[in-house]
Amino acid sequence: MTTPWNHRYAQRMHWMGSSAIRELLKLAEQPDIISFAGGLPAPELFPVAEFAAANERVLARTGQRALQYSTTEGYLPLREFLVNKMAQYGILVGPENVLITSGSQQALDMIGKILINPGDLILTEAPTYLGALQAWNAYQAEYDTVPIDDEGICTDLLEEALAGGPKFMYILPNFQNPGGVTLSLKRRQALVRIADRYGVPIIEDDPYGELRFEGDHLPPLVVQDARRLNGANGSGFYRGNVIYLSTFSKTLAPGLRLGWMVAPVEVIQHCVIAKQGMDLHTSTLNQMVAYEVISQDGFLKNHVREIRQVYRDRRDVMLAAMAQYFPAEVQWTRPQGGLFLWVTLPEPLDSERLLPQAIANKVAYVPGHVFYPDGRGRSSMRLNFSNAQPAQIEIGIRRLGQVFTEALQKQKRVDYALA
Ligand SMILES: Cc1ncc(COP(=O)(O)O)c(C=O)c1O
Protein backbone atom coordinates (compact mmCIF):
# COMPACT_ATOMS: atom_id res chain seq x y z
CA MET A 1 0.00 0.00 0.00
CA THR A 2 1.32 3.46 -0.89
CA THR A 3 1.18 6.06 1.83
CA PRO A 4 2.59 9.60 1.99
CA TRP A 5 5.35 8.13 4.18
CA ASN A 6 6.60 5.29 1.96
CA HIS A 7 9.37 7.16 0.21
CA ARG A 8 10.43 9.12 3.27
CA TYR A 9 11.83 6.35 5.47
CA ALA A 10 15.62 6.25 5.88
CA GLN A 11 17.55 3.49 4.10
CA ARG A 12 18.52 1.99 7.43
CA MET A 13 14.92 0.92 7.96
CA HIS A 14 15.47 -1.73 5.27
CA TRP A 15 18.10 -3.27 7.52
CA MET A 16 15.94 -3.17 10.59
CA GLY A 17 13.08 -5.06 8.95
CA SER A 18 9.83 -6.18 10.53
CA SER A 19 9.39 -9.54 12.12
CA ALA A 20 6.71 -12.07 11.20
CA ILE A 21 7.54 -13.86 14.45
CA ARG A 22 6.78 -10.75 16.46
CA GLU A 23 3.33 -10.66 14.88
CA LEU A 24 2.77 -14.33 15.67
CA LEU A 25 3.96 -13.90 19.23
CA LYS A 26 1.41 -11.13 19.77
CA LEU A 27 -1.10 -14.01 19.79
CA ALA A 28 0.85 -15.46 22.70
CA GLU A 29 -0.17 -12.48 24.83
CA GLN A 30 -3.73 -13.83 25.11
CA PRO A 31 -4.41 -14.70 28.75
CA ASP A 32 -5.18 -18.39 28.14
CA ILE A 33 -1.79 -19.02 26.49
CA ILE A 34 1.13 -20.11 28.64
CA SER A 35 3.97 -18.12 27.17
CA PHE A 36 7.59 -19.13 27.54
CA ALA A 37 8.36 -16.61 24.80
CA GLY A 38 8.98 -13.35 26.68
CA GLY A 39 12.02 -12.47 28.74
CA LEU A 40 10.01 -11.09 31.62
CA PRO A 41 11.11 -11.31 35.25
CA ALA A 42 8.56 -12.51 37.84
CA PRO A 43 6.47 -9.38 38.54
CA GLU A 44 5.37 -10.58 41.98
CA LEU A 45 9.00 -10.15 43.11
CA PHE A 46 9.22 -6.47 42.17
CA PRO A 47 9.95 -4.45 45.32
CA VAL A 48 6.87 -2.26 44.91
CA ALA A 49 6.49 -1.21 48.56
CA GLU A 50 10.18 -0.30 48.84
CA PHE A 51 9.91 1.83 45.70
CA ALA A 52 6.75 3.56 46.94
CA ALA A 53 8.42 4.47 50.23
CA ALA A 54 11.71 5.49 48.60
CA ASN A 55 9.88 7.61 46.05
CA GLU A 56 8.11 9.48 48.82
CA ARG A 57 11.34 10.05 50.74
CA VAL A 58 13.24 11.27 47.65
CA LEU A 59 10.48 13.67 46.64
CA ALA A 60 10.07 14.99 50.18
CA ARG A 61 13.80 15.48 50.67
CA THR A 62 15.09 16.50 47.24
CA GLY A 63 12.02 16.72 45.01
CA GLN A 64 13.21 19.68 42.98
CA ARG A 65 16.50 18.02 42.18
CA ALA A 66 14.85 14.68 41.40
CA LEU A 67 12.52 16.29 38.86
CA GLN A 68 15.21 18.43 37.23
CA TYR A 69 17.50 17.68 34.23
CA SER A 70 20.79 16.15 35.35
CA THR A 71 24.18 15.09 33.99
CA THR A 72 24.50 12.62 31.11
CA GLU A 73 26.99 10.45 33.03
CA GLY A 74 24.39 9.72 35.71
CA TYR A 75 23.65 10.37 39.39
CA LEU A 76 27.01 10.38 41.16
CA PRO A 77 25.98 8.45 44.32
CA LEU A 78 24.56 5.71 42.07
CA ARG A 79 27.78 5.59 40.03
CA GLU A 80 29.79 5.42 43.26
CA PHE A 81 27.54 2.59 44.46
CA LEU A 82 28.32 0.77 41.21
CA VAL A 83 32.04 1.42 41.63
CA ASN A 84 31.84 -0.40 44.98
CA LYS A 85 29.69 -3.15 43.52
CA MET A 86 32.17 -3.64 40.68
CA ALA A 87 34.99 -3.79 43.23
CA GLN A 88 33.26 -6.82 44.81
CA TYR A 89 33.52 -8.48 41.41
CA GLY A 90 37.21 -7.57 41.28
CA ILE A 91 36.74 -4.69 38.84
CA LEU A 92 38.68 -1.67 40.05
CA VAL A 93 37.22 1.46 38.49
CA GLY A 94 36.35 5.05 39.39
CA PRO A 95 33.04 6.85 38.75
CA GLU A 96 34.59 8.25 35.56
CA ASN A 97 34.59 4.66 34.21
CA VAL A 98 30.85 4.25 34.85
CA LEU A 99 27.99 5.56 32.70
CA ILE A 100 24.36 5.12 33.73
CA THR A 101 22.27 4.02 30.74
CA SER A 102 18.55 3.75 30.12
CA GLY A 103 18.80 -0.04 30.31
CA SER A 104 21.54 -2.17 28.76
CA GLN A 105 19.61 -1.98 25.53
CA GLN A 106 20.53 1.68 25.25
CA ALA A 107 24.17 0.80 25.91
CA LEU A 108 24.05 -1.63 22.98
CA ASP A 109 22.61 1.05 20.74
CA MET A 110 25.21 3.54 21.95
CA ILE A 111 28.00 1.08 21.18
CA GLY A 112 26.58 0.74 17.67
CA LYS A 113 26.43 4.49 17.34
CA ILE A 114 30.04 5.11 18.38
CA LEU A 115 31.73 2.06 16.83
CA ILE A 116 29.88 0.68 13.80
CA ASN A 117 30.26 1.99 10.26
CA PRO A 118 28.06 0.48 7.51
CA GLY A 119 29.50 -2.89 6.51
CA ASP A 120 31.61 -3.35 9.67
CA LEU A 121 31.95 -6.95 10.75
CA ILE A 122 30.81 -7.85 14.30
CA LEU A 123 31.62 -11.23 15.80
CA THR A 124 28.81 -12.75 17.88
CA GLU A 125 28.08 -16.03 19.54
CA ALA A 126 25.64 -18.24 17.68
CA PRO A 127 22.95 -18.03 18.95
CA THR A 128 23.09 -14.52 20.45
CA TYR A 129 20.87 -11.85 22.02
CA LEU A 130 18.28 -10.72 19.51
CA GLY A 131 18.16 -7.17 20.92
CA ALA A 132 21.83 -6.62 20.08
CA LEU A 133 21.24 -7.67 16.48
CA GLN A 134 18.25 -5.32 16.31
CA ALA A 135 20.32 -2.44 17.68
CA TRP A 136 23.28 -3.01 15.38
CA ASN A 137 21.30 -3.79 12.23
CA ALA A 138 20.34 -0.11 12.27
CA TYR A 139 24.04 0.76 11.84
CA GLN A 140 24.26 -1.68 8.93
CA ALA A 141 26.56 -4.14 10.67
CA GLU A 142 27.58 -7.44 9.06
CA TYR A 143 28.05 -10.47 11.29
CA ASP A 144 30.34 -13.42 11.66
CA THR A 145 29.50 -16.03 14.29
CA VAL A 146 31.19 -18.65 16.44
CA PRO A 147 29.01 -21.44 17.90
CA ILE A 148 28.43 -22.02 21.61
CA ASP A 149 28.29 -25.34 23.43
CA ASP A 150 27.75 -26.19 27.11
CA GLU A 151 30.88 -24.21 28.04
CA GLY A 152 29.95 -21.09 26.09
CA ILE A 153 31.62 -19.79 22.94
CA CYS A 154 33.92 -22.36 21.29
CA THR A 155 37.21 -20.55 21.73
CA ASP A 156 39.04 -23.11 19.58
CA LEU A 157 37.15 -21.69 16.59
CA LEU A 158 37.76 -18.08 17.53
CA GLU A 159 41.08 -17.39 15.84
CA GLU A 160 39.79 -18.27 12.42
CA ALA A 161 36.87 -15.87 12.92
CA LEU A 162 39.11 -13.11 14.28
CA ALA A 163 41.28 -13.36 11.21
CA GLY A 164 38.27 -11.85 9.36
CA GLY A 165 38.99 -8.58 11.20
CA PRO A 166 35.81 -7.90 13.21
CA LYS A 167 35.39 -4.47 14.81
CA PHE A 168 34.54 -6.10 18.14
CA MET A 169 33.09 -9.29 19.56
CA TYR A 170 29.93 -9.55 21.60
CA ILE A 171 29.93 -12.08 24.43
CA LEU A 172 27.30 -13.08 27.00
CA PRO A 173 29.33 -14.99 29.58
CA ASN A 174 26.67 -15.90 32.15
CA PHE A 175 23.50 -17.96 31.52
CA GLN A 176 23.48 -16.74 27.98
CA ASN A 177 20.32 -15.33 26.42
CA PRO A 178 19.10 -17.40 24.61
CA GLY A 179 21.28 -20.51 25.17
CA GLY A 180 21.30 -20.61 28.99
CA VAL A 181 24.96 -21.72 28.98
CA THR A 182 27.89 -20.20 30.91
CA LEU A 183 31.38 -19.52 29.63
CA SER A 184 33.85 -21.73 31.54
CA LEU A 185 36.84 -20.25 33.37
CA LYS A 186 39.29 -21.85 30.95
CA ARG A 187 37.50 -20.35 27.98
CA ARG A 188 37.23 -16.92 29.67
CA GLN A 189 40.99 -16.90 30.01
CA ALA A 190 41.49 -18.11 26.44
CA LEU A 191 39.02 -15.57 25.07
CA VAL A 192 40.71 -12.57 26.70
CA ARG A 193 44.13 -13.83 25.65
CA ILE A 194 43.11 -14.34 22.03
CA ALA A 195 41.21 -11.02 21.89
CA ASP A 196 44.33 -9.26 23.09
CA ARG A 197 46.52 -11.06 20.57
CA TYR A 198 44.26 -9.99 17.70
CA GLY A 199 43.58 -6.52 19.17
CA VAL A 200 39.81 -7.05 19.03
CA PRO A 201 37.71 -5.43 21.80
CA ILE A 202 35.08 -7.41 23.71
CA ILE A 203 31.58 -6.20 24.58
CA GLU A 204 30.69 -8.20 27.69
CA ASP A 205 26.92 -8.16 28.25
CA ASP A 206 26.11 -9.45 31.72
CA PRO A 207 22.51 -8.81 32.79
CA TYR A 208 22.17 -12.18 34.57
CA GLY A 209 25.52 -12.63 36.38
CA GLU A 210 24.00 -12.12 39.84
CA LEU A 211 21.24 -14.63 39.23
CA ARG A 212 23.36 -17.73 39.74
CA PHE A 213 21.49 -20.60 41.41
CA GLU A 214 24.33 -23.09 41.57
CA GLY A 215 28.04 -23.45 40.88
CA ASP A 216 30.77 -20.90 41.64
CA HIS A 217 30.85 -17.29 40.52
CA LEU A 218 33.29 -16.89 37.62
CA PRO A 219 35.29 -13.70 37.12
CA PRO A 220 33.94 -11.44 34.36
CA LEU A 221 36.01 -10.94 31.22
CA VAL A 222 36.71 -7.36 32.24
CA VAL A 223 38.42 -8.72 35.37
CA GLN A 224 40.47 -11.20 33.35
CA ASP A 225 41.47 -8.35 31.11
CA ALA A 226 42.43 -6.07 34.02
CA ARG A 227 44.58 -8.94 35.40
CA ARG A 228 46.22 -9.32 32.03
CA LEU A 229 47.12 -5.61 32.06
CA ASN A 230 48.09 -5.22 35.70
CA GLY A 231 49.35 -8.56 36.90
CA ALA A 232 47.59 -11.12 39.07
CA ASN A 233 45.75 -8.72 41.41
CA GLY A 234 44.33 -6.63 38.55
CA SER A 235 44.92 -3.36 40.39
CA GLY A 236 45.05 0.06 38.71
CA PHE A 237 42.16 1.85 37.00
CA TYR A 238 40.77 0.09 34.02
CA ARG A 239 42.20 1.00 30.60
CA GLY A 240 41.66 -2.26 28.77
CA ASN A 241 39.95 -4.03 25.94
CA VAL A 242 36.51 -4.79 27.38
CA ILE A 243 33.27 -2.80 27.65
CA TYR A 244 31.20 -4.33 30.46
CA LEU A 245 27.40 -3.90 30.53
CA SER A 246 24.91 -4.72 33.23
CA THR A 247 21.46 -3.65 34.39
CA PHE A 248 19.00 -3.42 37.26
CA SER A 249 16.29 -4.88 35.01
CA LYS A 250 16.64 -8.39 36.40
CA THR A 251 17.56 -7.57 40.01
CA LEU A 252 15.11 -4.69 40.64
CA ALA A 253 12.66 -4.08 37.79
CA PRO A 254 12.95 -3.63 34.01
CA GLY A 255 10.40 -0.78 33.99
CA LEU A 256 12.99 1.42 35.70
CA ARG A 257 15.12 1.37 32.53
CA LEU A 258 18.35 1.52 34.53
CA GLY A 259 21.58 -0.05 33.39
CA TRP A 260 25.27 0.77 33.44
CA MET A 261 28.41 0.56 31.36
CA VAL A 262 31.94 0.14 32.70
CA ALA A 263 34.64 1.05 30.22
CA PRO A 264 37.90 2.94 29.73
CA VAL A 265 37.32 6.68 30.25
CA GLU A 266 37.74 7.56 26.58
CA VAL A 267 34.99 5.10 25.59
CA ILE A 268 32.70 6.57 28.29
CA GLN A 269 33.38 10.05 26.92
CA HIS A 270 32.36 9.00 23.41
CA CYS A 271 29.23 7.31 24.77
CA VAL A 272 28.31 10.45 26.71
CA ILE A 273 28.27 12.39 23.43
CA ALA A 274 26.15 9.67 21.79
CA LYS A 275 23.75 9.52 24.75
CA GLN A 276 23.21 13.28 24.71
CA GLY A 277 21.66 12.87 21.28
CA MET A 278 19.51 9.96 22.46
CA ASP A 279 17.92 11.11 25.72
CA LEU A 280 20.24 13.69 27.37
CA HIS A 281 20.36 11.49 30.46
CA THR A 282 18.60 8.61 32.18
CA SER A 283 15.60 9.63 34.34
CA THR A 284 16.89 11.58 37.35
CA LEU A 285 13.96 10.48 39.50
CA ASN A 286 14.44 6.79 38.68
CA GLN A 287 18.16 6.95 39.43
CA MET A 288 17.62 8.69 42.76
CA VAL A 289 14.80 6.41 43.85
CA ALA A 290 16.66 3.26 42.82
CA TYR A 291 19.70 4.49 44.74
CA GLU A 292 17.51 5.16 47.78
CA VAL A 293 16.22 1.57 47.59
CA ILE A 294 19.54 -0.20 47.07
CA SER A 295 21.48 1.84 49.59
CA GLN A 296 19.33 0.35 52.38
CA ASP A 297 21.64 -1.96 54.23
CA GLY A 298 21.44 -5.54 52.93
CA PHE A 299 18.36 -4.91 50.77
CA LEU A 300 19.81 -5.83 47.38
CA LYS A 301 21.59 -8.90 48.68
CA ASN A 302 18.44 -10.29 50.30
CA HIS A 303 16.25 -9.37 47.37
CA VAL A 304 18.54 -11.04 44.84
CA ARG A 305 18.72 -14.12 47.08
CA GLU A 306 14.92 -14.36 46.94
CA ILE A 307 14.87 -13.98 43.14
CA ARG A 308 17.47 -16.73 42.78
CA GLN A 309 15.43 -19.07 44.95
CA VAL A 310 12.22 -18.51 42.97
CA TYR A 311 13.94 -18.86 39.58
CA ARG A 312 15.81 -21.97 40.64
CA ASP A 313 12.52 -23.59 41.64
CA ARG A 314 10.95 -22.64 38.31
CA ARG A 315 13.94 -23.92 36.37
CA ASP A 316 13.75 -27.20 38.28
CA VAL A 317 10.04 -27.55 37.52
CA MET A 318 10.69 -26.90 33.84
CA LEU A 319 13.61 -29.37 33.67
CA ALA A 320 11.61 -32.08 35.46
CA ALA A 321 8.58 -31.54 33.21
CA MET A 322 10.76 -31.69 30.09
CA ALA A 323 12.27 -34.98 31.25
CA GLN A 324 8.74 -36.31 31.76
CA TYR A 325 6.91 -34.98 28.69
CA PHE A 326 9.40 -34.36 25.89
CA PRO A 327 10.19 -37.18 23.43
CA ALA A 328 13.60 -38.81 23.95
CA GLU A 329 14.99 -37.23 20.75
CA VAL A 330 14.64 -33.68 22.14
CA GLN A 331 17.64 -32.06 23.87
CA TRP A 332 17.95 -29.03 26.15
CA THR A 333 20.48 -27.02 28.13
CA ARG A 334 20.58 -26.96 31.94
CA PRO A 335 21.29 -23.36 33.00
CA GLN A 336 23.02 -22.61 36.31
CA GLY A 337 21.21 -19.28 36.55
CA GLY A 338 19.35 -16.63 34.59
CA LEU A 339 15.97 -16.80 32.88
CA PHE A 340 16.26 -19.02 29.80
CA LEU A 341 17.00 -22.43 28.44
CA TRP A 342 17.45 -23.70 24.91
CA VAL A 343 15.66 -26.67 23.40
CA THR A 344 16.80 -28.48 20.27
CA LEU A 345 14.51 -30.75 18.25
CA PRO A 346 15.83 -33.45 15.94
CA GLU A 347 16.21 -32.19 12.36
CA PRO A 348 14.38 -31.63 10.09
CA LEU A 349 11.76 -30.41 12.58
CA ASP A 350 11.42 -26.65 12.27
CA SER A 351 10.48 -24.65 15.37
CA GLU A 352 9.07 -21.72 13.40
CA ARG A 353 6.74 -24.00 11.45
CA LEU A 354 5.64 -25.67 14.68
CA LEU A 355 4.84 -22.39 16.44
CA PRO A 356 1.26 -22.02 15.10
CA GLN A 357 0.54 -25.54 16.39
CA ALA A 358 2.02 -24.66 19.75
CA ILE A 359 -0.08 -21.50 19.93
CA ALA A 360 -3.17 -23.54 18.94
CA ASN A 361 -2.25 -25.77 21.93
CA LYS A 362 -2.06 -22.63 24.10
CA VAL A 363 1.69 -22.52 24.63
CA ALA A 364 4.38 -20.30 23.06
CA TYR A 365 8.17 -20.02 22.66
CA VAL A 366 10.60 -18.06 20.51
CA PRO A 367 11.88 -20.01 17.47
CA GLY A 368 15.67 -20.38 17.44
CA HIS A 369 16.49 -18.87 14.07
CA VAL A 370 15.75 -15.30 15.22
CA PHE A 371 18.81 -15.51 17.49
CA TYR A 372 21.15 -16.22 14.59
CA PRO A 373 22.30 -13.38 12.32
CA ASP A 374 22.24 -15.83 9.40
CA GLY A 375 18.90 -17.50 10.24
CA ARG A 376 20.31 -20.92 11.24
CA GLY A 377 19.03 -22.67 14.37
CA ARG A 378 15.71 -23.66 12.84
CA SER A 379 15.38 -26.79 14.95
CA SER A 380 15.87 -24.88 18.22
CA MET A 381 13.83 -22.61 20.47
CA ARG A 382 14.22 -20.44 23.56
CA LEU A 383 12.10 -21.05 26.65
CA ASN A 384 11.78 -18.59 29.54
CA PHE A 385 11.22 -20.03 33.02
CA SER A 386 11.16 -16.89 35.22
CA ASN A 387 7.73 -15.51 34.40
CA ALA A 388 5.18 -18.34 34.68
CA GLN A 389 4.06 -19.92 37.95
CA PRO A 390 5.40 -23.46 38.54
CA ALA A 391 2.00 -25.12 37.97
CA GLN A 392 1.67 -23.26 34.66
CA ILE A 393 5.20 -24.26 33.66
CA GLU A 394 4.33 -27.90 34.11
CA ILE A 395 1.11 -27.59 32.06
CA GLY A 396 2.86 -25.57 29.33
CA ILE A 397 5.67 -28.11 28.98
CA ARG A 398 3.14 -30.95 28.80
CA ARG A 399 1.38 -29.12 25.95
CA LEU A 400 4.69 -28.53 24.17
CA GLY A 401 5.54 -32.21 24.63
CA GLN A 402 2.32 -33.11 22.82
CA VAL A 403 3.17 -30.78 19.93
CA PHE A 404 6.68 -32.29 19.62
CA THR A 405 5.42 -35.87 19.90
CA GLU A 406 2.85 -35.35 17.14
CA ALA A 407 5.39 -33.57 14.91
CA LEU A 408 7.89 -36.39 15.37
CA GLN A 409 5.29 -39.05 14.59
CA LYS A 410 4.29 -37.17 11.45
CA GLN A 411 7.96 -36.85 10.44
CA LYS A 412 8.50 -40.58 10.96
CA ARG A 413 5.50 -41.33 8.70
CA VAL A 414 7.00 -39.05 6.01
CA ASP A 415 10.43 -40.72 6.35
CA TYR A 416 8.80 -44.15 6.13
CA ALA A 417 6.83 -43.17 3.01
CA LEU A 418 10.01 -41.84 1.36
CA ALA A 419 12.11 -44.87 2.26
C1 LIG B 1 21.61 -10.20 26.97
C2 LIG B 1 20.76 -8.99 27.20
N3 LIG B 1 21.28 -7.79 27.02
C4 LIG B 1 20.56 -6.68 27.22
C5 LIG B 1 19.25 -6.75 27.61
C6 LIG B 1 18.47 -5.47 27.79
O7 LIG B 1 18.25 -5.23 29.14
P8 LIG B 1 17.73 -3.85 29.70
O9 LIG B 1 16.38 -4.10 30.27
O10 LIG B 1 18.73 -3.45 30.74
O11 LIG B 1 17.69 -2.87 28.57
C12 LIG B 1 18.65 -7.99 27.81
C13 LIG B 1 17.24 -8.09 28.20
O14 LIG B 1 16.64 -9.12 28.28
C15 LIG B 1 19.43 -9.15 27.60
O16 LIG B 1 18.94 -10.38 27.77
Question: Model confidence over 73-107: pLDDT tens digits?
Answer: 999 999 999 999 988 887 888 999 999 999 999 99
Low-confidence winner among 135-144, 164-173, 225-234, 396-405 (lowest mean pLDDT): 225-234
Q: How far apart, in whole angstroms, are the C-alpha atoms of residue 133 and residue 369?
A: 12
Q: Which residue has the higher pLDDT, 410 or 51?
A: 51
- The pLDDT assigned to 412 comes to 83
- The pLDDT assigned to 18 comes to 63
Cβ of 105 less than 6 Å from ligand 1: yes
Q: Compute the average pLDDT of residues 358-362.
A: 95
Cβ of 152 less than 6 Å from ligand 1: no
Q: How confident is the model at residue 16 (pLDDT cuts 50, 70, 90)?
A: confident
Residue 319 pLDDT more than 80? yes
Q: How confident is the model at residue 24 (pLDDT cuts 50, 70, 90)?
A: low
Q: How far is the CA of 101 from the centre of ligand 1 (A)?
A: 12
- The pLDDT assigned to 126 comes to 97
Percent of the chain scoring above 70 in pLDDT: 96
Q: How confident is the model at residue 227 (pLDDT cuts 50, 70, 90)?
A: confident
Residue 36 pLDDT more than 90? yes
- The pLDDT assigned to 2 comes to 85
Q: Compute the average pLDDT of residues 321-348.
A: 97
Residue 187 pLDDT more than 60? yes
Rounded to 5 degrees, what are φ and ψ at 117? -95, 155
Q: How confident is the model at residue 373 (pLDDT cuts 50, 70, 90)?
A: very high
Q: How far is the CA of 127 from the centre of ligand 1 (A)?
A: 15
Q: Compute the average pLDDT of residues 300-323.
A: 98
Cβ of 103 less than 6 Å from ligand 1: yes
CB atoms within 10 A of CB 186: 10
Residue 72 pLDDT more than 90? yes
Contact between 240 and 262 (Cβ < 8 Å): no
Cβ of 335 less than 6 Å from ligand 1: no
Q: How confident is the model at residue 20 (pLDDT cuts 50, 70, 90)?
A: low
- The pLDDT assigned to 79 comes to 98
The whole-chain average pLDDT of the chain stands at: 93
Q: How far is the CA of 130 from the centre of ligand 1 (A)?
A: 10
Domain 18-39+301-418: what homologous superfamily? Aspartate Aminotransferase, domain 1 (3.90.1150.10)
- Counting atoms of ligand 1 from 1, which one is nearest the CA of 107? 11
Cβ of 205 less than 6 Å from ligand 1: yes
User: How many CA atoms are closer than 13 Å to the CA of 107, on its beta-carbon side?
Assistant: 27
Q: Where are the domains of the chain?
A: 18-39+301-418, 48-295
Q: How far is the CA of 39 from the centre of ligand 1 (A)?
A: 9
Tell me the CATH number of domain 48-295, given options 3.20.20.450, 3.40.640.10, 3.60.150.10, 3.40.630.10.
3.40.640.10
Cβ of 124 less than 6 Å from ligand 1: no
- The pLDDT assigned to 231 comes to 60
Please determine whether the domains at 18-39+301-418 and 48-295 fall in the same fold group of CATH: no
Q: How confident is the model at residue 414 (pLDDT cuts 50, 70, 90)?
A: confident
Low-confidence winner among 166-180, 216-230, 274-288, 322-336 (lowest mean pLDDT): 216-230
Percent of the chain scoring above 90 in pLDDT: 83
- The pLDDT assigned to 236 comes to 55
- What pTM, to 2 d.p., does this model score? 0.95
- The pLDDT assigned to 234 comes to 52
Q: How far is the CA of 96 from the centre of ligand 1 (A)?
A: 23
- The pLDDT assigned to 295 comes to 96
Q: How far is the CA of 329 from the centre of ligand 1 (A)?
A: 31
Cβ of 207 less than 6 Å from ligand 1: yes
Q: How far is the CA of 270 from the centre of ligand 1 (A)?
A: 21
Q: How far apart, in whole angstroms, are the C-alpha atoms of residue 226 and residue 218?
A: 15
Residue 235 pLDDT more than 60? no
